[in-house]
Structure 1
Amino acid sequence: MFFWEERPRTRGPKPALTLDRIADAAIAVADAEGLAAVTMQRVAADVGYTKMSLYRYVPGKTELVAVMLERAIGEPPVGGAGDWRTALSAWAEALLGRYAPHPWAIEATAGGRPIGPNELSWMESALAVLPGGLTGAERMDAVAAVAGQVRMIAGQAATTESELTATIGLVLREHADRFPALAAAVSDTATRGGQDQAFRFGLERILDGLEVLIQRR
């Protein structure tokens, strides 16, 4: 049993404070102010309990952040029909949709940390759609590569590619001679469009590479 899963109660009244309520309060703080603003003291105050009361439900901030992530990403959607590329693309888009409202979630997935059942379920659902022809390590790496694309785009969600291009364009007005390749790319984008496609472009190139490897096997 994962440490944050509810233990069955055999007697006594149902507690007014729950782990879900604690996680929701912590998520609200992180969404508004960032992960650094989340402390046991702050969350306890927001739910109207003492700091010591929270320790009955979660050992400390590391575990609290793990519960927050579990609550934020939820369970993966049920796998749909279609080939593995279609299924893995849908998986990536769904994961991006879970990360996007919670910019702190990218930071929360960095480094050593507890991993919960929802996050493992997302990994399971992605691995399950991959076809044969890949080793176990390659399957894990394939999912890591797709998830990395999701994380990268989610981390840049506050600034769109078109906004970045516009900002670069202001600089290039006076310094295009110093950055000729960049100036040419920006000019071509302005003429032919295609901006704000970094997620789809990167995802498709990852899937292209996997398809080549699978066919080669």
Structure 2
Amino acid sequence: MTSEETIPAPLRRLWRLAESSRLGRPAALDVDRVVAAAVEAADRDGLDGVTLPKVAKSLGVTGMSLYRHVGSKDELLTLMGDQALGTPPRVDAGDWRTGLDAWARAQRAVYQQRPWLAHLPVSGPPSGPHRIAWMEAALAILAPTPLDWTHKIGALSLLGGYVVQTVRQDHELARGRADGERQSDAERAYGRALAKLVDPERFPETARLFSSALFETGPAHSSDAAIGDADFTVGLELILDGIAARVESAGPR
């Protein structure tokens, strides 16, 4: 048995390792076509629009025939996530902080273009070629630092999780707002309502927050995108500050 033959079938499909055809001719359907159809459905209808019967119908085949190319719905979601993430852009940064900032913003842009990516279930650590490529790009940025592997992976997990969570939150909040309602208007209405409900005796700091000027003097004329960018930057800077403190405490490489 060769080393390639010991690779589990889901990973073989994820990395598109060639499968021999028993009939001696290429199959009419393959993993790439199945995944492309599923990604197209998700782009159009979100994850709710991705079911094996629906994907099969779009390809003109039966649902059972898909199991020759994807082992399960969960595997299909993994294949979709890796394919839709794509390859990372080349980041030419003079320092690790600028590089990680660019890396995080580039990944956020992909998730914003396809919000359903942020709603995919986490089935394990990165294992597909595209997710590994993003990991490689970030590790290369951190290579000059004195951080050990544990802290490098911790930094990537924190950054990647932050990107996913902020995109998911923005998407869900946007869906929850009334048609045409601006984010700035929704935030001011939220602050005014909570200011009336929060008891200063029970929640003193929270009461101070809602009675502050934050919710009244926000960027009323800014677009939702600009507000989202500003909010994202605040959190990203805090994370990078934490990584910087760890880099400094680790000393020279």
TM-score of the two chains, using structure 2 as the length reference = 0.74
> How many Å apart are 1:216 and its aligned residue?
2.1
Match of 2:4 in 1: none
2:241 matched residue in structure 1: 208
8 Å contact kept, 2:35–2:79: yes
The answer to whether 1:7 aligns with 2:35 is no
| Of 60-69 and 27-36, the range deviating more from structure 2 | 27-36
Q: Per the alignment, in what secondary structure is the counterpart of residue 215 of structure 2?
A: helix
**Residue 156 (1) aligns with residue 169 (2):** yes
Shifted more, 111-120 versus 78-87: the winner is: 111-120
CA distances 1:96-136 after superposition (whole Å, capped 9, x unpaired): 12212222212324244783121122112112211332121
Does 2:159 correspond to 1:146?
Answer: yes
Q: Give aligned-pair identity as a percent.
A: 33
Change (3 A) 1:133 1:192: farther
CA distance in 1, matches of 2:125, 2:73: 11
* Partners of 2:167 and 2:187 in 1: CA distance: 21
* Whole-Å separation in 1 of the counterparts to 2:25 and 2:96: 48
Distance 1:142 1:49, change over 3 A: same
State the SS of the aligned residue for 2:147: coil
CA contact (8 A) 1:66 1:115 kept: no
Q: 1:182 aligns with which of 187, 203, 210?
A: 210
Distance 1:209 1:174, change over 3 A: closer
Q: Secondary structure at the match of 2:104?
A: helix
Distance change >3 Å, CA 114–CA 146, structure 1 → 2 = closer
CA contact (8 A) 1:66 1:113 kept: no
CA apart distance, 1:48:
0.7
What displacement does 1:14 show?
3.6
2:54 and 2:26 map into 1 onto residues whose CA distance is 24
- Equivalent position SS for 2:12: coil
**Are positions 1:167 and 2:200 aligned together?**
no
Q: Classify 1:12/1:142 alpha carbon distance in 2 versus 1 (closer, same or farther; 3 Å).
A: same
- Unpaired stretches in structure 2, ≥5 consecutive residues: 1-6, 175-180, 199-206
Cα RMSD (Å) of the superposition? Answer: 2.9
Name the SS for the 1:189 alignment partner: coil
Cα distance in 1 between the residues matched to 2:154 and 2:49: 33
Aligned pairs, number: 217
Q: Does structure 2 retain, via aligned residues, the 8 Å contact 1:40–1:61? A: yes
Matched, 1:75 2:84: no
Counterpart AA for 2:240: L
Match of 2:129 in 1: 117
- Contact 2:115 2:167 (8 Å CA) reproduced: yes
Specify the code of the residue in structure 2 equivalent to 1:181. Answer: L
